[in-house]
Amino acid sequence: MTQRIQKIWLSSLLGLFPLLNILGQAEVIEMLPYGDMDKWMVREIKESKIIGGNRKYLYEIVPGDTLKDKPYKNTTSPWALSSVLARVKGITKTSVTVFPERRAGNGHCARLETRIETCTVLGLFDINVLASGTIFLGEMNEPIKDTSNPQSKLVTGIEFTKRPKALQYDYKVTTGGNCIQATGFSKQKKIDRKDMAEVQILLQHRWEDAEGNIYAKRVGTGWERFEKSVDNWQNNHRLIVHYGDISSKHFYASYMSLKDGQQAYYARNSKGKMVPIHETSWADPSEKVTHLIVQFSSSNGGAYTGSIDSKLWIDNVKLVY
């Protein structure tokens, strides 16, 4: 190799170093499976004659042909919805709070609504239950057989080992007015608090003991609530994931706390039983991640609480590294 060629080769190689450095630090953005909200399966359910015998339509974030009159178990999609099939004391009833909606020029999105489901049986009694629209990573245990302990019907989170720095998504939101609480037979209660949409991403390190109890350390936390309506699409919005103990940080709020007791999420243990996930402590920031929780909801008041005017639109859900 001549001296001139050597200089040209060395100069070209040195010129690549800044580019290689940039590439080495470049972000990696990955769409969660079906996170583009363009694949939906229709579920057709005939409710019991005693409550009218109407045909209702539920939707799942997964491709597939119409599923008729059967519980749904997601085997190919990580997403589950708050729209459910319930069979209580022989009565088949549906609750529909999540819908596909066409987005101009961008396929579809998910529309999450807070609604009241009413069930009248032969004019003898009325049941009014408020349900918020929610999509989450996990599984819904169908059919629902009662209204007690709603969290115990949800397998919350999926197995996961990566360490994202943010959750990215498109959204718009209509925040409702004051909350109400409607749990079923009891009279509706007014709650002196404004409803808000809510988004969360949690990273956990989970383990199970010999008795089948599930425990977890909180490795990463991202959580936000929307107090005001936003009418136009906000594209590529990011929710930052903070690692380790955030309880003393300026952005920390009580709703970001470790979840246990009545607030505990649930999962299915190795014995096939639904059990609470006991979050025991904040993890060291370098702790191994075993599970990912992502959840979007049109209301933030918990089970049976919210405003029927609340809506949240979600699209293009991604993880940023």
Asked whether residue 279 is assigned to any structural domain, the reply reads yes
d(CA 142, CA 39): 21
Asked whether residue 55 is assigned to any structural domain, the reply reads no
Tell me the CATH number at 174: 2.60.120
Asked whether residue 2 is assigned to any structural domain, the reply reads no
Asked whether residue 223 is assigned to any structural domain, the reply reads yes
Give the DSSP letter of residue 7. Answer: H
The pLDDT of residue 130: 87
Asked whether residue 234 is assigned to any structural domain, the reply reads yes
Number of domains forming the structure of the chain: 1
The pLDDT of residue 271: 95
Asked whether residue 93 is assigned to any structural domain, the reply reads no
The pLDDT of residue 24: 59
Asked whether residue 253 is assigned to any structural domain, the reply reads yes
Structural domain span for residue 244: 25-35+119-320
The pLDDT of residue 73: 85
The pLDDT of residue 314: 98
CA nearest neighbour of 48 among 3, 6, 88: 88
Residue 98 is inside which H or E element, if any? Answer: strand 98-102
Asked whether residue 195 is assigned to any structural domain, the reply reads yes
Residue ranges of the chain whose pLDDT lies below 70? 1-24, 120-126, 184-186
The pLDDT of residue 90: 84
The pLDDT of residue 181: 87
Burial class of residue 300 in the structure, from the number of CB atoms within 10 Å of its CB (0-12 exposed, 13-18 middle, 19+ buried): buried
The pLDDT of residue 9: 38
The pLDDT of residue 241: 98
